[in-house]
Amino acid sequence: MAEWTEEITHAAGTDLAIIKGGTGKPLLVLHEELGHPGWLTWHSALAKEHTLLIPIQPGLGKSPKLDWIRNIHELAMFYSWVLRDMNLAPIDVIGFSSGGWIAAEMAATNSKQLHKMVLVAPAGIKPPEGEIMDLFSVTARTSLNASVYDAEASPEFAKLYGGERTPEQFEAFEDARTENARLTWEPIMHNPALPYFLAGVSGLPTQIFWGREDAIVPVSAAEAYRKALRNTDVKVTIFDHCGHRPEIEKSAEFIKLVRDFLA
């Protein structure tokens, strides 16, 4: 039997595609800027204790584009509306890259809608050292190759992104890149106001993961997030010999730590 299903749910005034899988306490999963990568090892592991809810960002996949959403802050407000319509708040959330940025914006807007927050190499805050990679000025293949420290040591990465892309994969990547360039182009992949708003967050346990060799969002942003979230309990875990995808590159350690944190 398939571990997951895709459903079209009417919420926040639109139809929204949502991947659902697992059983137990709901867990909101916010995917990265290239879209939902597929059902991975970590999904299967967490689905043993959680019902994973993975909304497909408007404008990607089967979710219609919403022109009135013009930036990540507004996308976060949209997801907050979805939570209200689906009666899901407060909920645990895990966000990856741009999805982590969305989760942080949701917390800054109303931290009471979230129970616990996991951020995996989130964009959103300008790193104090280094620069966020301009993902939209290079090909999808270039940004994908830069997202892992050692592709050969990450068999799941090769399974996902190795070999030639099908026309469908190419189209999906370009749709995602086009939509997220519209939302995050200037300034690239961050909101200068976000650190100030995060100072108002309290009572939201947060776990942050980063790869020390992250070439997409420099690891120095981890400390920037910790400082911004200074009024709540924050744990930061840095994986050595790891890039932008610890959920793939350090899968076993990542799964254990997320399980422990959400328990």
Q: How confident is the model at residue 219 (pLDDT cuts 50, 70, 90)?
A: very high
Mean pLDDT for the chain overall: 96
Q: What's residue 134's pLDDT?
A: 95
Q: What's residue 16's pLDDT?
A: 98
Q: What's residue 162's pLDDT?
A: 77
Q: Is the pLDDT of residue 82 over 70?
A: yes
Q: In the structure encoding, which two tokens stand for residue 197, read together?
A: 């708003």
Which ranges in the chain belong to alpha helices (H)?
41-46, 72-85, 98-109, 140-146, 155-161, 167-184, 194-198, 220-228, 246-249, 251-262
Q: Judging by DSSP bridges, how do beta strands 91-96 and 50-55 pair with one another?
A: unpaired
The 10s digit of each residue's pLDDT in 93-150 is: 999 999 999 999 999 999 999 999 999 999 999 999 999 999 999 999 999 999 999 9
The 3-state DSSP class for residue 51 equals strand
Q: What's residue 98's pLDDT?
A: 98
Residue 239 Rama label (left phi>0; alpha psi -120 to 50; beta): beta
Helix (H) or strand (E) holding 15: strand 14-22
Q: How confident is the model at residue 169 (pLDDT cuts 50, 70, 90)?
A: confident
The 10s digit of each residue's pLDDT in 238-258 is: 999 999 999 999 999 999 999
Q: What's residue 1's pLDDT?
A: 62
Among 66-75, 142-151, 156-165, 180-189, name the one with the lowest average pLDDT.
Answer: 156-165
Prediction pTM value: 0.97
Give the list of residues 6+ apart from residue 241 with CB closer than 8 angstroms, or none.
149, 150, 212, 213
Q: Is the pLDDT of residue 163 over 80?
A: no
**Higher pLDDT among residues 209 and 139, named by residue:** 209
CA angle 137, 141, 146 (to 5 degrees): 80
Q: How confident is the model at residue 168 (pLDDT cuts 50, 70, 90)?
A: confident
DSSP state of 139: -
**How far apart, in whole angstroms, are the C-alpha atoms of residue 72 and residue 62?**
19
Structural domains in the chain? 4-262 (3.40.50.1820)
The 10s digit of each residue's pLDDT in 14-32 is: 999 999 999 999 999 999 9
Q: What's residue 183's pLDDT?
A: 98
Q: What's residue 161's pLDDT?
A: 85
